[in-house]
Chain A
Amino acid sequence: SQWGEENLQALSIQEGEDVTMNCSYKTYTTVVQWYRQKSGKGPAQLILIRSNEREKRSGRLRATLDTSSQSSSLSITGTLATDTAVYFCATPDTNAYKVIFGKGTHLHVLP
């Protein structure tokens, strides 16, 4: 598998708290994508970070990529109940058309 086991976890937090989710990957990648999947829906991309970027922000989201440690993180500030979802990291495979997904982090934000 491309992804480390710590990618599978569940988090339960109170609305308003900040949260950080982590992924570690095993083989070099130039791009890490983060997706969110709400209950009953398909995954939707939140943010993409490239190997020449250490950090990327989009609204309340912040993604980081550390190629030296082969890890990426997604932070959400001021969480809302509507942020409750499964969050996946993903990266292209050596076959560039394939995208490999981590097993996901189940985030539950309590109102």
Chain B
Amino acid sequence: DMKVTQMPRYLIKRMGENVLLECGQDMSHETMYWYRQDPGLGLQLIYISYDVDSNSEGDIPKGYRVSRKKREHFSLILDSAKTNQTSVYFCASSPGTGVVERLFFGHGTKLSVL
């Protein structure tokens, strides 16, 4: 069905709590991404995963880690969340070998850290 699914859609956490954002895709795409989106800053790349257990930092990895144990699942983990991590987080995937020509995005997770 060519879908990227993110869970949960909305999440409220207190500062210092751990946060797990989950993403799944049904297209057997090799490459998956986590972005965050903030007003005026556009989409900022946090991490890329090239395949299972093959992850690379993006442009703003500090404060985040990822896990990819199955090709179809990619998780973003915030250990001890901070208020400045309040944002909308998007997961994306691409068939990606060579130059990426299209990203498929999920609907996003809106995270509020109080």
Seen from chain A, the residues whose Cβ lies within 8 Å of a Cβ on chain B are 8, 30-31, 33, 35, 40-45, 48, 88, 90, 92, 96-104
In the complex, what's the smallest C-beta–C-beta distance from B38 to chain A, in angstroms? 11
Number of A-B contacts (CB under 8 A): 60
Cross-chain contact of A99 among B50, B98, B100, B108 (Cβ < 8 A): B100
Interface centre among B48, B96, B100 (most CB of A within 10 A): B100
Q: Please choose the segment from B14-22, B39-47, B61-69, B72-80 that sits at the chain A interface, where 4 or more of its residues have CB less than 8 A away.
A: B39-47
Which residues of chain A are within 8 angstroms of B90 by Cβ–Cβ distance?
42-43
Seen from chain B, the residues whose Cβ lies within 8 Å of a Cβ on chain A are 4, 31, 33, 40-43, 45, 48, 50, 58, 90, 92, 94, 96, 98-103, 105-108
Cross-chain contact of B108 among A41, A45, A96, A97 (Cβ < 8 A): A41
In the complex, what's the smallest C-beta–C-beta distance from B39 to chain A, in angstroms? 10
Interface centre among A31, A35, A42, A92 (most CB of B within 10 A): A42
Cross-chain contact of A31 among B50, B94, B99, B106 (Cβ < 8 A): B99
Contact status A88-B108, CB under 8 Å: no
Contact status A96-B100, CB under 8 Å: yes
| A59–B104 CA distance with the chains assembled, in angstroms | 21
Cross-chain contact of A103 among B42, B45, B94, B101 (Cβ < 8 A): B42
| A75–B60 CA distance with the chains assembled, in angstroms | 32
